[in-house]
Amino acid sequence: MTKLLLPRLGRRLVVASAVVATAAGLSVAVAAPARADDSATPAAVWSGLDARDYSGPIGAPGTLLTKTALDPSIGLSSAGSAYRVLYATTDFNDRPAVSTAAIFLPKKAAPKNGYKVIAWAHGTTGLGDGCTPSALPRSDRDTAYLNHWLDQGYAVVGTDYVGLGTPGLMNYLSSKVQAHSIVDSVKAASHTGLPLSKTWAIVGQSQGASAALNGARWATAYSRGSGLDYRGVVSTGTPANIEHIVMQAGPGFPPVALPAGLNTYAAYIWAGFADARPDLKPMSILTREGRRIVAAAQTKCYAEMHSMVEGAKVRDWFSKPVSSIPGVQGALVNYMSTPYRGYDRPIFMGQGLVDTDVPAPSALSLYAQMVANGQPVEMHVYPTKDHSGTVLASMKDSTPFLARIMR
């Protein structure tokens, strides 16, 4: 079943945008995940679980390693209790790795079979350990959004993704890393002794929407044998087919200064890709300025990185085209593509038509691909909403969607 839910005029705009974007190879500006607040990032609060240099045993993916109470200063007002956990998962090269996650329980008493679980996939915060979501206060928007799900009676399990607050670099927008991080966080949560149901779904925004869809594609396979019952996914502001835009980067890229947010995402993408595929020598095609920017992207959180690349031109970062790297196209697809087939549970996509962080053609092109491949997807379009506004606006539609699939 596929649905496109929007006013008639909006429907025409969506179809036109999707067709143009697909036909043009998505030749729009680099677009990706959610903008963080522009204020300086506060100091991380590790809640007694600082795993930045963890070197102990790991175990099978989904193994719970440590659980501690979450510091109240970074909790959620609708949570009755909150925890921070360290768990086993895998990295880009399928090697044992660890990640952290926050677990929030509602204030209302748990049902007989436990709270049904929402796996929350967060948007862009940065690649440095100081950008770790479970060690920081949530943004006002995310606070309102997560409190809403707690008020609905769901427990929330929010992964940080491998490399954020744990050894290694987070491979930004890596399909494989994000999918494993999400599924393994729920597996680990099921071993905490907390009153959690086996029934769960995934919800993600922006970078997290990409993560959520990749997690959704592999949730059943990755959780096989765990007893978990995966039901479906909600994704809003989904960056998709971005790998085809990255392929166009180089000294021949348009000589314009992109918005600072898009420059920030581009720097994070190249830093993550260079870390995942050093064999391709991605840093070798960068100029001195490009190397400076990408080095900074490895540690700076969104607000600081945003300020650093204000007014920058991406073309100045490259001495050669990305396409000059042998085998790079397939490598980028393997690194960051979002599947458009193979889903076994319902998919909810939400998109604002005035979104400039993830322009509508990005998500709509993926929706068109899913429809063409008979996937169980429905698209909700919000004609007057931007990237952040879509998150809260979508709740009127995603709330009954989740209630239905979680029954």
- What is the mean pLDDT for each group of 10 consecutive residues in the chain (407 residues)? 51 40 34 43 95 97 98 98 98 97 98 98 97 97 98 98 98 97 98 98 97 98 97 97 95 89 94 98 98 98 96 97 98 97 98 92 97 98 96 98 97
Nearest to 94 by CA among 165, 173, 164, 171: 171
CA distances from 64 to 97, 186, 189, 218 (A): 12, 10, 7, 20
**Predicted pLDDT of residue 14:** 42
Report which DSSP code applies to 24: T
**Predicted pLDDT of residue 224:** 96
**Predicted pLDDT of residue 356:** 84
Query: Degrees (nearest 5) of the Cα angle 338, 15, 403?
Result: 60
Report which DSSP code applies to 289: H
CA distance 133 to 248: 32
CA distance 90 to 179: 10
**Predicted pLDDT of residue 15:** 41
**Predicted pLDDT of residue 2:** 53
**Predicted pLDDT of residue 33:** 37
Its pTM surpasses 0.85: yes
CA distance 268 to 172: 6
Q: What is the DSSP string of 182-204?
A: HHHHHHHHTTS-S-EEEEEEEEE
Nearest to 190 by CA among 269, 114, 99: 114
**Predicted pLDDT of residue 358:** 87
Rounded (10°) CA dihedral 322, 327, 331, 337? 70
**Predicted pLDDT of residue 5:** 64
Residues in the chain: 407
